[in-house]
Structure formats: C-alpha cells, structure tokens
Amino acid sequence: MINLGQDEMAKYPFLADSGQYLKDKGFTLEQFGTDPDLKLIVDKAYHRIEAAAEGKIYRSDIDEHAKDAMLPREVFSFLLAVVLLKLSGMQTLIRRFSLAESRRAEKFLERDLSKFSEKNKEDLAIRILEDLFSIQVKKQNNYFVISVSDYLEHSISFHEREWKLVNRRVDAGLVFLTSHETVRLVRKELGSYINSKIQNANVPTMSDSFKEPVKRLESLAKKFPTIVVSSTEYPPCIKHAIEVLEKGENLPHSGRFMLGTYLLSKGQSVEQIAPLFKNAPDYNEKVTLYQLNHLAGSSGSGTKYICPSCEKLKSQDLCFIIPECDGIINPLQFGKKKIVNA
Amino acid sequence: MHENDLKLLEESFKKYYFDHFDLIHVPNRPSEREFGFQRFDSGMTRHLAIKDDKELHLMLMNNIPSDVYCSNACYSFPNLPMREKDWKEADLIFDIDAKDLKLDCRKDHTCNKCQSCGEVSVNSPNCPKCQSSKLEQKSVTCKNCIDIAKQEIKKLTGLLADDFNIERKNIQVYFSGNEGFHVYVYDSQYQKLGSRERSELADYLMFRGAIPETFGFNRYKPDRSSFSDLNEEGWRGRLSKHIFSSKSKRSKIISQILTNGYSSFQNQLDEAKNEIGVVIDPNVTMDIHRIFRLPGSLNSKSGLVKQKCDNIEEFNPFTDACFIDDSTTEVLANCPLVFNLKNKKFGPYNKEKITIPKFAAVYMICKGLATSA
C-alpha cells in the first residue's frame, strides 16, 4: 500500500484503506448512518454518484484555506459513495461511478506527473503507475518514456489509430509519451481498479440515514437502461468470405476459421455451415466436417473457438471495413447497437 | 506417395540424421518446450516432451520424421493438451518468405501440378491435360529471391536493434530449408508478450497503419513546421528519407504534400509500406502456440536443412543447406524448372528417366516433380 498524505488521499481516495481511514479519523460507519450532523456528507456522497451517473466528473472543492477540514470530507464522500453503491447493488451505477472517479483521478495524475519540478508529487504519480499498473516510467527531456513491451500491454485495447505503435515515437526499446498520454494509457485499468475495489468491498449494514439515498439511487439507475438492437445483416468480412467461396476461389485457412467460428457463434449448426465450403478448390466433405466440429468444440480438445477480433482479421487482410462497422472490435458485434440513455 | 519414393526419402533422411547429430540440438530450456514431428506417410504428432539431445536423437532414429518441430513457447507442462500446458513465454519469431516478396522472377521458377491427374504445366490457369482448375503451385528456390530476402533480413535486424533495443547477439537467423528465413529473438523484453501485442510489433515493422498526423500532417490544422525531418529516429526519420530523399528537397515536397491534401498523403503512406516496411508474415509472429521447424532438421518440402546462418551475407542455401549425399540414383523427372544445388545446374526435365545425385533427386521428389524410377 502506498503511503499517502492528506491531500493525496483526497485526490486518490480509492487508494485508502477505508476502514482504517475512518478509524484514524475517529469515526465509525454507524455514526454516518445515524448522526444527523454527518448527513451533509452522506448527501455529498449521493451527489458524487449522481454526477458520475450523468457522465460528469465530480469537482472537488478543495479550498487551500480550509484544507484541513475539507480534505477528510472529500475522502469521506468517496467512501460513503461506495457504501451507498454497495447497498443499492446497482451495477450500472457502480460502472459509471468507477469510470467517472477514474477520470477524476486521471486529471490529478496528469497534473502531478507534469509538475516534475515538485519532485515529490512526480514521485507519487510515478509510484501509482508502477505499483498499480506495473509501468515503469522515466523522464527523458520533456517526455515520459516507458518500455515498448509495457506500452503494448497497456495500449493494446485502444482502437484509435494514433495509439498504434507505428504512430508513436519509438527509439531504443522505449516509447516517448506526454504526461497526458502516459495517464491516458491506464484510464481503463484505473476504472477497472476502482470497480474491482468496489466489487470486493463488503456490503455494509443498512442504517436509517442510508435508506433514503439508496432508494434514490435505485430509481436513478432506472434512468440508464441498455437496449441492444440487432440486425440480421452479415458484416462485410463475412460477406466477402462467402462471396469468395461462392465464386469457387480459394479462401485462406484464416478466412475459413473466421467464417466457421462466426456462423457457429450465430447459432448455425456444423451441418448448415459445411455446404458453404463446397466450392472451395480443395473441398473434402470429411475434412470440412472434422474441422467445423473441432471449431465448435464437439471434437478434439473440446475448446470452443471464438471468432477472431477485427484487429486480427485486419492483419490477415480479411477486414473490409465499412462505416456500419461503427467501431466494433469483433465481427460478432456487427449490427448490434447499444443504445445507452434511451 | 509411391512406395519407392517413400523408401528413398526415408533412407536419405535417416542417413542425414544419423550422420549429423552434431547439427541437431534441442533449444535452450528444452524441457519446457513442446516438440512435434510428422512422418512421410502419416499426420502430425505433437505435444511431445523431449528433455535433451539424446532423447531427440533417439526420436529421430525411431521415427525417421519428414519434419521435426519445436515450440517457440515455454510451458510448465509442454506435453499436456494446449489449454493445460500453462504458457509462460515465447521467443519472438519473424518469417521472411520469398513467396511473399512478389518478385518478377517468381514466374520463372514456378510451375503448376494438377491435383487431379498429376500433369505438370507452366503458365496455364487450367490443367492442359484434364482441364481441372485444381492446380498446386510448385516452385524451386531461386538466387534472386534469396538475395532480396537477405535484404529484408538486414532491414528487419536493423529495426529490431535500433527501435526495439534488441542486442545483436540475441538475434539468430535461420534458413527455413525451403524459400525463406526465420529470424529468432531470444531473451528480450518481448518474451512475455501475447499474441495481439506481437501483432502490433509486426505492424510496426511492416509500417502498417501509419497515419499522416504521425509525420506532422494534421488534418484540421496543417502546419509545415511540424513535418518530420531526415535526422529523426524511428519511422519519422526513415519516412522522411524515403519521401524527401534530401534536405534540400524537403521544403518543396512538403508544399506539394500540403497541396495534394490529407488523403493523398495517407495513400502515400500506404504505398510507402511496400518500400520501407519489412515483408514478414504477421501471422507467424503473432502465433504464440506454434511449433516451428527445428533448426538442423530437414524440410520435407525440399530435403534441405533448416540451417543456422551466422554470416547471412555469405550464406548460400544451395550449398550450405544441402546435406543429402552425392551417390547417384535414377528418377523419372517431370520438372520444367531449372535449379542449382551444390554448384550444379539441374533441369529442365520433360518426363525423363535420368541418373542424378541423390540430393537433387530428393529435392525434386520432395517438390513432387520426380518419382523414384
């Protein structure tokens, strides 16, 4: 556990051991649940969740003059927000809260990282990156440098082309980043870290003062349903593969793998899929059935293979992206549109 | 495969293995690797554990394999089914294959063999004998292809050292035994990377997916002062050298790029990939569970050895990787192509019965262009 000062705790409250923190400050959770004077902080916690749910980043009103009184309140409101979320059990709010809190922490991390003259602060940000996300960051002139392997492990889930290694400044096994980019690299993981901390927290006992805000959270969560709309249209990569086979041209092994796994995932049977390969120049019914059964996991090791990602298909020259692909990362998502806040 | 062919190949391969134990070794950390082999007349046997050279040599003598493989990955339990193996890490491997270089000479050393009737033809989309369209391409190794592949290796090893900080002593090049090279990287920071990360490394080396912004062309705020320069490191410098060629032309060419617009520059980048990117097979690099031909073993597509190349410039596969003996044998050859082995020229043969050294006979039988008479 990283040792934190008061203001650092306010910036990164998810690093705190909540039980210990309350104890150190001379409070118990029960007090927050019953003491009317502390209701203000429970309200603050509710608003912190509400802001997150609406996609806003909670603003800390850290006033330099009243720092000593303000800072613990910042931490309390975070800890209580977690308590309320646990009591409500609303996953959609937990997700939104984790994301917003990570965006909030990201801003502080970036600021701390770029203030390299204040040696101490840079150290904390660098320590967070190293301890939480195993990224070793060093400063080189105006850049933050990390190893190519660390960079790849953390950037691999980004789909914007600017994050591809080829679009980065790379030299001698190092990637050169700005403070913003360095922190951006762990955004998702920061969110997952906060999320897992909340998931792993014990569900506290319900107290009177918590009942009303928890109820409000439950109705708040109902504002954010997720609706999935599906279309029956095939994605362009699958269409292309089918066309190639229909023309009797050769579809490479990787293309057959994609087509087989895609259609199996869409619920088609091995017997329904096999005839598609009939026109292939090297068609052999027995082999085709064997291979499809293997993909379906009904023979061999029992492993059920899944359709390769768009990225993998791109590298195999099997991707024929169209605007309708709309940022999906696997052909299976094609035509499924998530409408959030509908 | 005909019985006589099988006999000749098995005898020749066995003799090679028996005489050249000194060339065939297990790699480092052998007990963590998965081994596999194929015989001429049966399928693949894999998920084998072999702990040292002695066991390997015993396996070779007992099975006389047509091909021997070993994983680039290290596992806790290499002999268990894939999902129980417990993957630990894998050497980084790059495959440079002459077939992917799309060279003009390719047509001069490629022919088609009909899968229906076995007829061999040149430059014909259908079998001239039975009209079948199921043709299998057969090609022989060519000096020009090898020379260009060597240039790609130079490009690749340069990038690995400069950009990825891989020490030269940890890079080992092998001739694949047929028409290409395998470049192995040992003990690097990349050992533990997964498949998707390796695919990114491959894209980087191939210069795939580059965008104009990386080189200073901002779509919405074009500014000539942000364009890359020739003395920069990495792709910014290399691309600058490629498109500006000299400092004096830089300014004029930037103006031209700005006039032509963003998408035109994007096209230029996509085209540049063919010139400055390394031609590797990305699927090989991203596969972290593959078994690769074992160095020192014979390639059943040619009868040549997957040979370590300590001096790539001077390496000559036609002599340095040809280890089958010189005793003569009679074959019925149907090989319209010319090839060189051990400084001797062979072919073309038009359904001829000929007496030739065994290394050339084995080469043609492996290619499916001759049978034992």
CA of B268 vs chain A CAs: smallest distance (Å): 15
> Which residues of chain B lie closer than 8 angstroms to A171, CB-CB?
162-163, 233-234
pLDDT at residue number A122: 58
Q: What is the pLDDT of residues A182-219, one digit of tens each?
A: 999 998 889 889 999 899 888 888 888 888 899 999 98
Domains of chain B by range and CATH?
A: 3-100+142-203+281-372 (3.90.920.10), 208-276 (no CATH)
The catalytic residue among B5, B67, B91, B97 is B97
What percent of chain B has a predicted confidence (pLDDT) above 90? 94
Does the active-site annotation cover B281? yes
Helical segments of A201-329, H only: 208-221, 236-246, 253-265, 270-273, 285-296, 310-315
Who's near A133: CB < 8 A, 6+ residues apart?
A: A154, A186, A189, A190
Segment B303-357, tens digit of pLDDT = 999 999 999 999 999 999 999 999 999 999 999 999 999 999 998 999 999 999 9
> Residue type at A248?
G
Is A162 within 8 Å of B196 when comparing Cβ atoms?
Answer: no
Q: What is the DSSP letter of A201?
A: S
- Chain A: which residues have CB within 8 Å of chain B? 147-149, 152-153, 156, 161-162, 164-174, 248, 254, 281-282, 301, 303, 309, 311-312, 315-316
The strand order across the sheet containing B110-114 reads B120-121, B110-114, B135-139
Q: Does residue B203 sit at the A interface (CB-CB below 8 Å)?
A: yes
Whether residue B320 lies in the annotated active site: no
**What are the pLDDT digits (tens) for A109-141?**
998 888 766 565 557 888 888 888 989 998 888
Q: Note if the bond before B336 is cis, omega within 30 degrees.
A: no
Residues A156, B282: C-beta atoms closer than 8 Å: no
User: pLDDT tens digits, residue range A14-43?
Assistant: 988 877 888 888 888 888 878 878 888 889
Helix, coil or strand: residue A2: coil
Q: pLDDT for B31-70, tens place per residue?
A: 999 999 999 988 899 999 999 999 999 999 999 999 999 9
Q: Across the interface, do B200 and A164 touch by the CB < 8 Å criterion?
A: yes
Q: Which of the residues B131, B134, B160, B196 would you substitute to probe the A interface, choosing the one with the greatest number of A C-beta atoms within 10 Å?
A: B196
Name the pairing type of β-strands B92-97 and B180-185.
antiparallel
Burial B97-133 (b: 16+ CB within 10 A, else e): bbeebebeebeebbbbbbeeeebbbeeeeebeeeeee
Alpha-carbon distance A67 to nearest alpha carbon in chain B (angstroms): 43
Give φ, ψ of B36 to 5 degrees: -160, 160
Q: Round to whole Å and give the CA distance between B349 and B370.
A: 9
Q: pLDDT tier at A304 (50, 70, 90 boundaries)?
A: confident
pLDDT at position A170 is: 97
Convert the pLDDT of each residue in A234-274 to its tens digit. 899 999 898 888 877 778 889 999 999 999 998 888 888 88
Dist. CA A313–CA A167, nearest whole Å = 20
Which residues of chain A lie closer than 8 angstroms to B82, CB-CB? Answer: 301, 303
- What does the DSSP assignment read for A260-286? HHHHHHTT--HHHHGGGGGGSTT--HH
B53 counts as catalytic: no
Q: Which two tokens stand for residue B2?
A: 């005909």
Query: Quick one: which of A166, A162, A149, A158 has its CA closest to A186?
Result: A158
ipTM: 0.93
What pLDDT is stored for residue B250 in this prediction? 96
* Mean pLDDT, chain B, whole residue set: 96
Do residues B237 and B230 touch, judged by C-beta distance below 8 A? yes
Asked if A167 and B282 come within 8 Å (Cβ–Cβ), the reply is: no
Strand, coil or helix: what is A25?
Answer: coil
